[in-house]
Amino acid sequence: MIADADTPKEIIDATVATVHGALVSEILERVTQLSPKDFESLVLKVLGAMQYGTAGHIESTGDSADAGIDGVISQDPLGLDRIYAQAKRYARDRTVGRPAMQAFVGALQGQQADRGVFIATCAFTREALDYADRVGVRIIPINGIELAELMLKHRVGVQTDYVATLLRLDEDFYDSL
C-alpha cells in the first residue's frame, strides 16, 4: 500500500516493482509455451544480451546429436575460452533433479569443459544444486524466475511501454542567480 508520507520516487519505485513482479510471471508463462528448440534459442539470446560471446560468437548445438549441450559461447575470437549451455523447458511445477545435473556434468566432461550454465524454466532440487557445487566443473544454475528477471534486466522479449520523467527543484540553478 502507498502511504501518505511516501515520496513521489518511492511511489514510482513501488509501482515499477509491482509491474515487474507481474511481468516476471507473464514472461515465465510465455517462455514455457515455446518449443524446446525456440527455448534453446531464447537462452542463447539472453546470454548474448548479457554480453557473453561479444568477442567470439554463440553457437546453437541443439539437435538430436547435441550430446547434452545446447549451446557453446566462445568468449574470444579463437574459441579458446568457452562456456557451455544447457536449456530445459519444463512445466513450472516440475524440478530439475540430480540426474539431469549429472547428465550435464557428463556432457561437459565429454567436451573437456570446465564451465557451464544450466537454465531451466523451473526450480532445481537441493540435490541437484548440491551436486553442482561439488563437481570439478563450475556450473551456474538459473531457474525460471531468475531467467525471467534476466530477460527484464537485459531487455530480451520485452519492450518499453511507458516512460515518465520525474522533475525536482534545481537548487544549483537558484544559487547561481
- Per-residue pLDDT of 112-122, as tens digits, reads 888 999 999 99
Task: List, for residues 79-112, the tens digit of each pLDDT value.
Answer: 678 899 999 999 999 999 999 999 999 999 988 8
Gap between the Cα atoms of 74 and 61, Å rounded: 13
3-state secondary structure of 7: coil
Q: Could you tell me how far CA 81 lies from the centroid of its own chain? A: 20
Gap between the Cα atoms of 115 and 24, Å rounded: 27
Angle between helices 144-153 and 36-49 (to 10 degrees): 50
pLDDT category at 1 given cuts 50, 70, 90 is: low
Q: Other C-beta atoms within 10 Å of 153: how many?
A: 13
The pTM for the full model equals: 0.85
